[in-house]
Homo-oligomer: A and B are copies of this chain.
Amino acid sequence: MELTFLGTSAGVPTRRRNVSALALRPRQSSNWLLFDCGEATQHQLLKTPLSLYRLQRIFITHLHGDHVYGLFGLLASRGMLMSEMPLEIYGPTGLQEMLQTVMRLSQLRLPYDLAVREVSAGESLAFGDYRIETIALHHSITCYGYVYTEADLPGRFDLEKARKLGIPEGPLFGRLQRGESITLPDGRRVENRDVLGAPRAGRRVLIGGDNDRPELFAPYRGADLMIHEATYLQKDFDRLPRKFMHTTARQLGIAAEKMAIKRLVATHFSPRYDNEKKMKAIEEEIRENYRGELTLASDLMRIGL
């Protein structure tokens, strides 16, 4: 699986960071998924190898503009590519009305089927090679986290064992690898578990929207990857005259450590931190508590998993 960070700034774009969007290409897939779609997400895509033609599903965490205002233009541009692959969009209540109103008034007609599905918390959406669960986050507007979990993979094929059992190389190997059981030319029966290792657990990625309670992801303890906002340094947050329901770097470090997250990518930084020195301070504040693998997201950063 491959993740591309298309926007990592909170609220407004800066010259170096766009507003929120994250692309996820599932393992062995040429189609891809988008999580949130801030304004100019389609512009960011022009700088990546990802084509709108192959965008299959969009998941919106919440309807604040910096997470959703890029949707209209992205849908329109995907239409210009004459992609006929249907597109599905998942998100909070209100998404459908917003899209329908803008599309109607701007007379946007799409050459592909668009399905908008408003989700609620606690859903589990099954999509073949992966499933996506929704969880309720805590923000000033209804906001969902999305938990992406790969289907388990069959165990690795044990070539030695297969040879010892006298299985002829060729198509029978492939059938066993795919999890079938076979009958050999001499009549012997071989079960796939005889030549396959233990099934490999699918990886799990936690994708947060805006949220001031990262510990809400606790049911997914031990996840392979968590992508979560760290909008402020603690000292700056403490000084804010009005609290905006965001997570601080300190808070995220504590929560991620407690949840035994294997790898943490912090993102959604306030524009006030838009230089290397200040980003260093955010990294250090997370590090005070979190011992796993830590990355601070930057625009167009790619992660393979």
Q: Are B140 and A107 in contact (CB under 8 A)?
A: yes
Q: Is the interface of A mostly helix, strand, loop or mixed?
A: loop
- CB distance A97 to B105 under 8 Å? yes
Instruction: Using CB atoms, name the residue of chain B closest to A78.
Output: B12
Q: How far is the CB of A303 from chain B (nearest CB, A)?
A: 24
**Pick from B77, B94, B105: contact of A105, CB under 8 Å:** B94
Q: Is residue A80 contacting chain B, with contact meaning CB distance below 8 A?
A: yes
Report how far A54 CA is from B12 CA in the complex, Å.
Answer: 17
Tell me if A76 counts as interface (CB < 8 A to partner B): yes
Number of copies of this protein chain within its complex: 2
Asked whether B98 lies within 8 Å of A39 as measured between CB atoms, the reply is: no
Quick one: given A12-B80, A76-B65, A106-B65, are A42 and B43 in contact (CB under 8 Å)? no
Give the interface segment out of A66-74, A190-198, A222-230.
A66-74
Q: Point out residues on A near B: beta carbons under 8 Å.
A: 11-15, 18-19, 38-40, 42-43, 46-47, 63-66, 68-70, 72-73, 76-77, 80, 94-95, 97-98, 101-102, 105-108, 140-141
What are 15 A-B residue pairs whose CB atoms fall within 8 Å in the complex? A12-B80, A13-B77, A14-B46, A39-B72, A40-B43, A43-B43, A63-B107, A65-B102, A66-B73, A66-B76, A68-B106, A69-B72, A94-B105, A98-B101, A107-B141
